Amino acid sequence: MHPAKSVIYFTTASGAGYGLMVWLAVMGAFGFLPADRTFGIIGFGLAFFLIISGLLSSTGHLGRPERAWRALSQWRSSWLSREGVSAILTFGPTGLYALGWVVLGQNAGLVGLIGLVGALMCLITVYFTSMIYASLKAIPAWRNRWTSLGYLLMALMSGALIMLALQAVFGLGLITVTIKISVALLGLSGVLKLAYWRAIQTDPPRSTAESATGLGRFGMVRMIESPHGEDNYLLKEMGYKVARKHAGKLRRIALVTGFILPMAMVAAIMVLGLPYVAALSFLALISAGIGLVVERWLFFAEAKHVVTLYYGNSKV
């Protein structure tokens, strides 16, 4: 599939924003983080910036962005519609929680409860985002048992790393909790990514050139003449091939920068002690950011669409 920049930014940025929002709620509600006003303004500002810029960017690849509001109408059947509705509803409790923190200086008790409701809705929204992809049967690499879990874990992981960097700068809250959470999430999401790559390589193909044409009864099917000489919409959008050539290398880059390096850096904070916490947590965040973009790029670019069976692919 063609990896559109707007969609890569949308999924990574809004994922990180929702992840950060979850940790703001959890850390606050359970008393690991005081309701410091400046911390709140920066933390919620960042979370809302990532979420909103991500959502806006997702409308960037629409042919008719001015009609985007129509996408809220079909929540009964469409995951994209559900995602839009859920994203908007989520602003309710998360906005109230942010107000409670910044204006009232409170993040526990009732305010904390509202925050936790918001956190749950953030996770639901991320899940709906993942289902836009995971529901598409025509793209087996997306309709995969690891897709939704991957989106959730990576949102939580990137959110935790931002939280860690913020806490390091402000020197606020129980930073050891965030460190442990980050290491655990980096480890889990790294393992999950390995499982995902293994699955898309070893899962038996769902469809073949023979089933696509129904000509298997006569033997092995190959295309000898394409309907058109130049690439059409289908081939530009669904026949993206660049990634497959470098897939091995890019996967290693994603794995090392996205999961292994940041995990080592965050773990090093525990060993080297808190004087290094700011530098190391920032390095970890930058590295994970790069890794996640590569990972997301691969998620799109590596995924094969069954329509390519009509254009010379033998199995998908």
Residue number, 22 or 212, with CB nearest to other proteins: 212
Structure tokens belonging to residue 296: 């997301």
Note the residues at the interface with other proteins (CB under 8 A): 1, 61-65, 67-68, 70-74, 76-81, 84, 132, 135-139, 206-207, 209, 211-228, 230-234, 237-238, 305-307, 310-311
Q: Name the one residue in this structure whose structure tokens are 């000509």.
A: 215
Cα 163 → chain centroid: 17
- Shortest Å distance, C-beta 307 to other proteins: 4
Residue number, 75 or 91, with CB nearest to other proteins: 75
- Shortest Å distance, C-beta 238 to other proteins: 7
- Shortest Å distance, C-beta 316 to other proteins: 9
Residue number, 53 or 135, with CB nearest to other proteins: 135
Question: Residue 48's closest CA among 10, 84, 98?
Answer: 98
Length of the chain: 316
Structure tokens belonging to residue 248: 């091995």
Residue number, 219 or 273, with CB nearest to other proteins: 219
Question: Residue 256's closest CA among 165, 194, 315?
Answer: 194
Produce one character per residue of 61-76: b if its CB has 16 or more CB atoms within 10 Å, e if not. Answer: eeeeeeeeeebeeebe
Residue number, 167 or 313, with CB nearest to other proteins: 313
| 3-state SS assignment for residue 108 | coil
- Shortest Å distance, C-beta 15 to other proteins: 19
Residue number, 64 or 245, with CB nearest to other proteins: 64
Whether the CB-CB separation of 205 and 315 falls below 8 Å is answered with yes
| 3-state SS assignment for residue 73 | coil
| 3-state SS assignment for residue 315 | strand
The Cα–Cα gap between 77 and 75 comes to: 5
